[in-house]
Amino acid sequence: MIVINIVMQIRAEKTDEWLELADSYARNVNAEEGCLYFKFSRSLTDENEYVCIEGFRDADAGSTHTSQPYVKDFFERMPDLVAAQPQILYIDTPHDGFGPMGEIAPR
């Protein structure tokens, strides 16, 4: 499984454009066969910071993802929306998805 986390600062004046792009992009990526999950979240401490968490079945699924036309469009549009260069964490792991957290369970 491939796990990717990206932290990005979005220009405050571009928030509406960003939210529209992020929504359509996430819908497209989540529809990919090899995508296990794809989500954007807004920081609780910085309203202009967003975190993307992605999980793909394997490197082949990741490669298929990056070849999609909406990925090219996303990468072409993002330089006009970000306030700083996004930071990425990429991990190729033997895990196959999320598992239960041992420390917390519903009462």
**Which two three-digit tokens encode residue 102?**
């041992």
CA distance 18 to 22: 6
Beta bridge partners of 53: 5, 39
The pLDDT-based confidence of 97 (bands split at 50, 70, 90) is confident
pTM of the model: 0.91
What would the pLDDT profile of 5-59 be if each residue is shown by its tens digit?
999 999 999 999 999 999 999 999 999 999 999 999 999 999 999 999 999 999 9
Q: What is the arithmetic mean of pLDDT over 97-106?
A: 93
With 90 as the cut, is the pLDDT of residue 96 above it? no
Distances (CA, A) of 26 to 64, 71, 93, 107: 15, 10, 22, 33
Cα angle, residue 6 at apex, residues 4 and 8 outer, rounded to 5° = 170
Do the beta carbons of residue 74 and residue 27 sit within 8 Å?
Answer: no
